[in-house]
């Protein structure tokens, strides 16, 4: 279930994150296992972070982002703003 108060971009991100859990669960589990995390909480956080990275990659508007990065000469602070 998605929060219907989320804007479209946030809903898309949440859907992409769920897609990661469904379609790439085995890969995510293997990566987490290789990480040798000490606690279950750390394993859950790593799993969520990996699914989030996947989701960001799916929904990120790459071409506009790449143009912005080049225009700002890869200045991380300027890009973050």
* pLDDT tens profile 16-68: 999 999 999 999 999 999 999 999 999 999 999 999 999 999 998 889 889 98
Band of residue 81 on the pLDDT scale cut at 50, 70, 90: confident
Which structural domain range is residue 24 located in? 10-80
**Is residue 14 a part of any domain in this protein?**
yes
**Amino acid 34: pLDDT:** 97
Contact at 8 Å (CB) between 59 and 14? no
Over the chain, what HEC string results? CCCCCCCHHHHHHHHHHHHHHHHCHHHHHHHHHHCCCCCHHHHHHHHHHHHHHHHHHHHCCHHHHHHHHHHCCCCHHHHHC
Tally of domains in the chain:
1
**Is residue 63 a part of any domain in this protein?**
yes
**Is residue 71 a part of any domain in this protein?**
yes
pTM for the whole thing?
Answer: 0.74
**Is residue 2 a part of any domain in this protein?**
no
**Amino acid 41: pLDDT:** 97
**Is residue 60 a part of any domain in this protein?**
yes
**Is residue 3 a part of any domain in this protein?**
no
**Is residue 5 a part of any domain in this protein?**
no
């Amino acid at each position: 279930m998605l929060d219907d108060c989320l804007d479209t971009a946030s809903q898309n991100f949440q859907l992409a994150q769920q897609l990661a859990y469904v379609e790439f669960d085995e890969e995510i589990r293997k990566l987490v296992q290789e990480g040798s995390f000490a606690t279950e909480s750390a394993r859950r956080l790593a799993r969520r972070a990996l699914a989030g990275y996947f989701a960001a990659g799916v929904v990120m508007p790459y071409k506009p982002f790449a143009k912005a990065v080049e225009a700002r000469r890869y200045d991380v602070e300027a890009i973050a703003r």
